[in-house]
Amino acid sequence: MTLLADRLLIDFNTTWERIRQVTEWKSYVECANYLNIKPGTFAGAKRRGAIPFEWLMEISEGCGVSLDWLIRGKGKRWREGFAIGEAIKRRREFLKVSVDDLAARLGVAAEVIRSWEEDRSRPQESQTESLARILGIPQRVFRVKDAEVFTVASGLSSGEGGPLQPLGPHDPTGPPPPGDSGQGRAVAEFKISEDLTLAARVLEPGAPYSTTALRLDIRSFAKPVTAEARIARIEEDQKKLNDLLTQVRDENKALRAELDRLKTSSCEVPGNLPRKDVQEA
């Protein structure tokens, strides 16, 4: 188990520098407060030269940072589909702060908080400082732009890493499938364009059912998509951990076998008898 613990502890200095880049925390005390641990516990990790994996998981989930980037420094810094509202709600519930209490402390209506958490609007720049102080969310997280999370295939905006991965076989923003000259994407783009044209007609003032259509919140349809992506990401991380655990177990088994062989070889040498304490053990 010691071997497994060593494997799941990531190099402190390199990882801490990456954490500081995305959070702009000036000291490990800020990180300790966010993780709800004692500064001494964080200092102990620094002395050991390793950061526990579960700390990085919390930072990844709460701040929207890519776990792969935190550990390996590869790929995009920010998780695809990360929403500021998700971070606010997650942190508020973690600290057991009610919507009404947070609204009162910020001097805004409770509906404003709900609007943020549902990603119907974003906090103003003047409000992010108070939010960061109350909830402990790094201010840098509030400045993450959509272009930093996604890279649009058309090239109209750019971010870190490669293009946005397709959500399915008909995703118009993803690369064409092998053997596709781009005709499939053109058809998909045409269908989307047609849908947008119809939507514009429905939403015209005075159009039938326009009031009903305006009440439809497109973000409610996005929530299952976001949830599926999050589940897939967690399952992928779990698979990596399971693979690592299997590898470490195999190594541990091999080391024990080698140790038994060496003990046997040592006992076979004339005059080299096993110590009494070893036999008793």
Average pLDDT over all residues of the chain: 73
Residues 6 or more apart whose CB falls under 8 angstroms from that of 257 comprise none
pLDDT in tens, 193-225: 556 666 666 656 555 555 555 545 555 556 676
Among the listed residues 111, 120, 148, 91, the one whose alpha carbon sits nearest the alpha carbon of residue 222 = 120
17-52 confidence digits (pLDDT tens): 999 988 888 888 989 988 989 999 999 999 988 888
pLDDT confidence of 271, banded at 50, 70, 90? low
Is 223 exposed, middle or buried, given 0-12, 13-18 or 19+ CB atoms closer than 10 A? middle
Domain map (residue ranges) of the chain:
1-77, 172-212, 217-267
Are the CB atoms for 159 and 152 separated by under 8 Å?
no
> What's the CA gap between 115 and 40, in Å, rounded?
37
Q: Which ranges constitute the DSSP H helices of the chain?
A: 2-7, 12-23, 28-35, 39-48, 53-63, 67-72, 84-94, 99-106, 110-117, 125-135, 139-142, 146-149, 183-202, 210-215, 218-268, 276-280
pLDDT at 103: 93
Q: Give the Cα separation of 136 and 129 in Å (integer).
A: 10
pLDDT band of 156, cuts 50, 70, 90: very low
Q: How far apart are CA 244 and CA 253, in angstroms?
A: 14
pLDDT at 101 over 90: yes
Q: Which residue has the tokens 């620094």?
A: 46
> Which pLDDT score is estimated for 112?
93
| DSSP letter assigned to residue 25 | -
What fold does the segment set 1-77 form as a domain? 434 Repressor (Amino-terminal Domain) (1.10.260)
* Residue 3 pLDDT greater than 70, yes or no: no
